[in-house]
Structure 1
Amino acid sequence: MIIYVESKAFPHRTFVVVVNQNDKIARIRARMLHKLFEIGYPDHQFRLRFKGQFLRDAFTIRDYEIIDNSVIKMISISKKVNSVSDLQSIAGSSTVNLDLNANETTDVKAPLYKEIKAFTTREKLLKDFNGLLYMHFLTTCLTLMTIYYYSFLWTFPVFIFAVLFRPQYTRVGGYVGNNTHLRFIFCIAYFVAALGTLGAAIYMSAVSWMTVVNHGCKDWEFVAECSHKNVFSAIFFAMQSLLLLLSAIVVGALFFSFRLEIGDYIEEFLVQERDIEMVMRAARNGRLKDKRTAAYELAAMAASGDDNKFRIVAEGGLEVLLALAMSTDENTQEHAVEALDELITIPSIQDNFVEMGGVKALTALLHSENSRIMQEAANAIYGIVSESDEHKSAVVMDHGLDDLAHAAYQGTIACQRTVASIFLDLAFNRDIRIQITSRNIPAQALIHLCRSNDVETQRYALQTLELLAIESSDMICAQENLLEVLLELPMNTMDEKLYLLAGKILLYYAENRPTCELLMDHTMLKESLGMFARTKDPMLQKVVAKIIFFMLEPKDLRVIARRLKLDRVLEYMMDNAADREVWDMADQGLQVMNSKDDHTPIPALPSLSTLEKLNKMGAKDSFGSRASLRSDQGSSSSSSDDVKKGLK
């Protein structure tokens, strides 16, 4: 796949990089380092960013969902420690010296130059091999002048094979030609052929020399078995043997050289295990630049494997990272929270983190003006609430719900999606659900999330509100602005799953007399119910029928329902009923609405009380899997289906 790399440092140049989806980000950085070296900027320091998120070396292209023809930004890093751009953008790139010790530096230029030297050697070996082929052609022709002239029959095909299938390579241009993809096969085939030809040449040279030596060439007379032709053959095949041996050695060296690809040494360097003690020392006692770099290093190490996570914790990494997370430097904060987010994926580490009060620091970071810090903090909090129900109470302590509400208003789309999912996970806990329903701020934040343009955010927020409605319908009915959001939902989205969630929440407004009147006063009521009915979802059609039945129960509201012509919604449902039960409910509703006797009783409809709904939902731990929102863009939640099943 092809990706494009752009940078403000090179405004008139777009770099093209060819990679695979399983390549690490370090591989892209390595290719860029080579390109920068070629244009004369070997000291240019940079980081890569995609969709507002800095990319870490240990992760793969697939992890960040980078697709073909994507554009990645190359963010330059100033080398001037005291410059403003350094303080704002250095962000701890692994290409920056750690400055942990005056004599101990980490420089990616070392593996870069090592690769360049290896590729230069490969180019020279191919040039040497081409020179040997010219000599091979000459010896092939000269075989016709020896006593073993028929050796031409195997030396010439070997020469032709080498000429036609030899790979071509330059350090700047890379591989060229139609057969370069067969370079390993060529090396093996030519090596075997060269050894076979070498064996034949050694044999013929030995036989020729034995013949000459046995004759003795007395008085240097070149006659009989000591003829000029015999002597020439002995010398010629000895020289040819040496030539073939050199060719085989060069091809063997090329075989191992071809195994090295651009970025092998650099990637190994960038994702190698750092000296944790050294990094910790810099994080505790280093200067601003050292702490920033150490935070990045810790995030990269934590992401590279569980062993590194335990090593970091063993060195007191949780305390250090919490201190860095509360730093005044935004870049240090961002990478420290990234590292914490990775560490707390291990249950035992998460337990220690919660016990030491780390959740309070994360919720405080939800007030950061830096959107990336807010997003990373939300991701870390989600990891806590989704992995362990025991730790959910730690999130809502010390104004945690208010902090989440702030992030719901001020966060990016991705952050809002994460916050909505956090609220949903918290609502699965009955004690926390009661706590949320006792306050207005979380409900208002959820209503704000329902207005999001992101479908997943809306789904999580509506699911949470439905759980809260089951716990306290009065709290939901007190949210008049939610009524407007629910009725306008069909005008803003085509997602039928959202329709079902909105319809079931509207049931609570219809059940309550004061809010039922507000519902019937809304100008969008008939149109919204009609769009719900058109989905032909049997569950949603039943919800629409129940809403209308609740409006028909009070005799004075029945008159209003007739004036609103809600009978047309029921008629449509009869004509397009998804199942028999829907048809029966619509038919019963029409009979009541068309009856001239306002005292006609409302048919008994199946309805669950709040207690019964909670019992049907089951225990607070009985819900299904939780969604993972660790990527920058988030992902759809499998819990949405689980919640929906539990609430039907």
Structure 2
Amino acid sequence: MIIYVENKAFPYRTFVTLISPYDKVARIRAQLLHILHEIGREDHQFRLRYKGQFLRDAFLIEEYGITENSVVKMVPMSKKHDSVADLRSIASTATLNTDLGPGHRADVKAALFREIDQFCLREKLLKNFEGLLYMHFLTTCLTLLTTYWYAFSWKFFVFLFSVFFRPNFTRIGGYVGNYTHLRYVFAIACGLFNLAIMGAALYFASVSWISVVNHGCTDWIFTGDCSHRNVFTAIFYTFESVLLLTSAVICGILIYSFRLEMGDYIEQFLVKERDIEQVMKDARHGRLKEKRTAAYELAAMAASGDDNKFRIVAEDGLSVLLALVLSNDESTQEHAVEALNELLTIPSIQDTLVEMGGVKTLSALLHSENARIMQEAALAIYTIVSESEENKSAVVADHGLDDLAHAANQGTIYCQRTIASIFLELSFNKDIRALITSRNIPAQSMINLCRSNDPDTQRYALQTLELLAIESSEMICAQEDLLEILLDLPLKTMDEKLYLLAGKILLYYAENQQTCEMLLEHSSVKESLSMFARTQDPVLQKVVAKVIFCTFDTRKMKLDRVLMYIRDNAADRDAWDMADQGLQVINSDDDNLSTLPTLSTLEKLNKMEEKGRFGSRTSLGSDDKPSGGSLSSEDFKKGLN
């Protein structure tokens, strides 16, 4: 199938590769290396990315879901230097490279040049074979002048077969012709035909030479068995035997040469397991590009299996990777963080990294200007907090919350989703939840995440705010911007899961005398509560009814239509009872309401219903996890993936 490869470093080129779904990613890389060699940029380092995921050389094409006519991105590994040189190389062979060391490792280029030499040899052999065909045509015609003139018939047949079915090949253009798919059949058949004709030629030459020698050609008189024709026959078939042997040998070499496909040698090098000690040596003491390549290889090795992960850790790989993530080269940082992400899938390695203080390094990367580095660092931190309750405290220590807040405000949509999930995981811990509520910066970052256009990010942020509200309702009520976001939510999305979370947080605003007034003054309060009530979720309907109850202390607004809708379309009995009781209060006289001047909102609710039927505000969640529409950490992991 055909795959298109784009690279921003070559804006006027789209590379085309021909591969099979069962080929490895290394095959695409190998073909691209050949193309880059033709334009004089074999030193250009790159990675392949498809749908936001970097491709591993050892994995199959089909494992990434790459199909016919897919577009794969070629991402330069050196963004600051190589890309500039690549742009200039389009117009000129002169390059500018201020980086240290060669572009690719010497052994990678050695594999490339080895393939090129083999393809040049194949092209040369086919050119020589084509030249031999002219000589075969001449000898076929001269066969009519020999004693065994009838050999012309089979020699002419073999000549026609060779002419029509011979493959054409050039190193740059590849195979050309209608019968190139029969190249193995041609090489084998042509070799056998040449050997068979050579056998006949040797027989004819032997018989002719025997007759000439027996005659003796006395006094050089060419008569009888020593006739000119008989002598010519002996010499002719002797020469032709050598010619046919040469053709057969070339056919044999071609059979071996045809086995080599573009990328065989390069793929063999790229997917083989390198010596971990040599990789570590390059990572510690190598030049810039050697460190970059070493970081990439460590990421590839870590992704290939758990055994390699433990081998890397045993060679002090965590310390090496933590040093590489602080490199000035962004590509090296990316590969190193990606390698850490792969290693952190093992819980024991997570504990080791935390003990080494690696969480501080990962938190520092959340301030990176590179979106990819920030995202990878966030994923690594999420792996730590989601797998271990003990390691959560290491994440929030030493300005960790501030680092997370910065990523929540500056990260991409994928990074924000990850950060929202990290805050949710941290909020499951009661001590950390209390720490978060004692500061305003994390709450502000959660509010910013609620503005995201990504439903998952909004859901995780609202779940976190619900947990924080259980811990400290005053902190939530102090966030005036959040109130507007909650009320505008039904106007921007149709996600009923978000409605439930927003409704439960609105209840905290309604229970507070000051924020309740702000709630009622909002222009869209009626419309928002109406849309909340129109869902078929009984919990949300009861939340809306309770919000309306809480407003009775502040102002008796005309929200009877909302309650009427809930009563007429109640999802369960409790929702119907609450809506009906609310309508009775709204339709009652002022004197009846004045009989309850000293009762709080919760006390009034308890008079209208049995205590525990809907519960107090603390029924919105337990001490550790949100209730209702909230998701567990396992549900989050599925959503994030």
TM bracket (short chain): 0.7 to 0.9
CA contact (8 A) 2:385 2:425 kept: yes
2:637 is aligned with what amino acid? A
2:71 is aligned with what amino acid? N
CA contact (8 A) 2:216 2:226 kept: no
Q: Does 1:18 align with 2:17?
A: yes
Stretch of structure 1 that moved more, 65-74 or 476-485: 65-74
1:404 is aligned with what amino acid? L
Aligned residues: 597
Matching residue of 2:602: none
Question: Match of 1:118, SS?
Answer: helix
Cα distance, 1:488 vs. partner? Answer: 1.6
CA contact (8 A) 2:393 2:432 kept: yes
Provide, for residues 614-634 of structure 1, a one-character-per-residue CA deviation record: whole Å limited to 9, x for no partner: 399699998536638xxxxxx
Matching residue of 1:596: 587
TM-score (norm 2): 0.75
Matching residue of 2:549: 553
Question: Match of 2:391, SS?
Answer: helix
Matching residue of 1:374: 374
TM-score (norm 1): 0.74
The change in CA–CA distance for 1:475 and 1:46 in structure 2 (over 3 A counts) is same
Matching residue of 1:2: 3
2:542 is aligned with what amino acid? K
Matching residue of 1:422: 422
Match of 2:614 among 607, 620, 632: 607
- Distance (Å, rounded) in 1 between the aligned partners of 2:425 and 2:278: 39
Cα distance, 1:321 vs. partner? Answer: 3.0
CA contact (8 A) 1:42 1:109 kept: no
2:420 is aligned with what amino acid? A
CA contact (8 A) 2:417 2:457 kept: yes
Cα distance, 1:123 vs. partner? Answer: 1.0
Provide, for residues 178-225 of structure 1, a one-character-per-residue CA deviation record: whole Å limited to 9, x for no partner: 443x1xx43135404642563365257537845874897535599999
CA contact (8 A) 2:191 2:248 kept: yes
Provide, for residues 86-125 of structure 1, a one-character-per-residue CA deviation record: whole Å limited to 9, x for no partner: xx9978897257xxxxxxxx47543333222222111112
The change in CA–CA distance for 1:357 and 1:90 in structure 2 (over 3 A counts) is farther
CA contact (8 A) 1:301 1:308 kept: no
- Distance (Å, rounded) in 2 between the aligned partners of 1:465 and 1:381: 20
1:318 is aligned with what amino acid? L
Can you give the 5+ residue segments of structure 2 that lack an aligned partner in the other structure? 83-87, 89-95, 594-606
Cα distance, 1:5 vs. partner? Answer: 3.6
The change in CA–CA distance for 1:153 and 1:409 in structure 2 (over 3 A counts) is same
Provide, for residues 369-395 of structure 1, a one-character-per-residue CA deviation record: whole Å limited to 9, x for no partner: 454443332232123223444433322
Matching residue of 1:445: 445
Question: Match of 2:634, SS?
Answer: coil
1:95 is aligned with what amino acid? G
Q: Does 1:637 align with 2:640?
A: yes
The 5 Å alignment of 1:179-198 reads 179-180=179-180, 182=181, 185-192=182-189, 194-195=191-192, 198=195
The 5 Å alignment of 1:424-503 reads 424-469=424-469, 475-503=475-503
Matching residue of 1:101: none
The 5 Å alignment of 1:189-588 reads 189-192=186-189, 194-195=191-192, 198-199=195-196, 202=199, 205-206=202-203, 209=206, 213=210, 218=215, 220=217, 242-269=242-269, 276-277=276-277, 280-281=280-281, 283-284=283-284, 290=287, 293-304=290-301, 305-306=304-305, 307-326=307-326, 333-469=333-469, 475-509=475-509, 515-532=515-532, 538-539=536-537, 542-553=538-549, 556=552, 560-562=556-558, 565-567=561-563, 569-570=565-566, 574=568, 581=571, 585=575
- Distance (Å, rounded) in 1 between the aligned partners of 2:548 and 2:433: 32
Cα distance, 1:553 vs. partner? Answer: 3.2
Provide, for residues 324-346 of structure 1, a one-character-per-residue CA deviation record: whole Å limited to 9, x for no partner: 44456666555443443333333
CA contact (8 A) 1:168 1:177 kept: yes
CA RMSD, 1 decimal: 4.8
- Distance (Å, rounded) in 2 between the aligned partners of 1:469 and 1:358: 32
Question: Match of 1:2, SS?
Answer: strand
The change in CA–CA distance for 1:91 and 1:476 in structure 2 (over 3 A counts) is farther
CA contact (8 A) 1:205 1:236 kept: no
Provide, for residues 283-326 of structure 1, a one-character-per-residue CA deviation record: whole Å limited to 9, x for no partner: 5456xxx2564254134223234455444333323223333444
Provide, for residues 236-271 of structure 1, a one-character-per-residue CA deviation record: whole Å limited to 9, x for no partner: 666665555444433333333333333443455556
Question: Match of 1:452, SS?
Answer: coil
The change in CA–CA distance for 1:317 and 1:617 in structure 2 (over 3 A counts) is closer
Cα distance, 1:452 vs. partner? Answer: 1.8
The change in CA–CA distance for 1:564 and 1:625 in structure 2 (over 3 A counts) is closer
Matching residue of 2:85: none
Question: Match of 2:637, SS?
Answer: coil
Matching residue of 2:596: none
2:15 is aligned with what amino acid? V
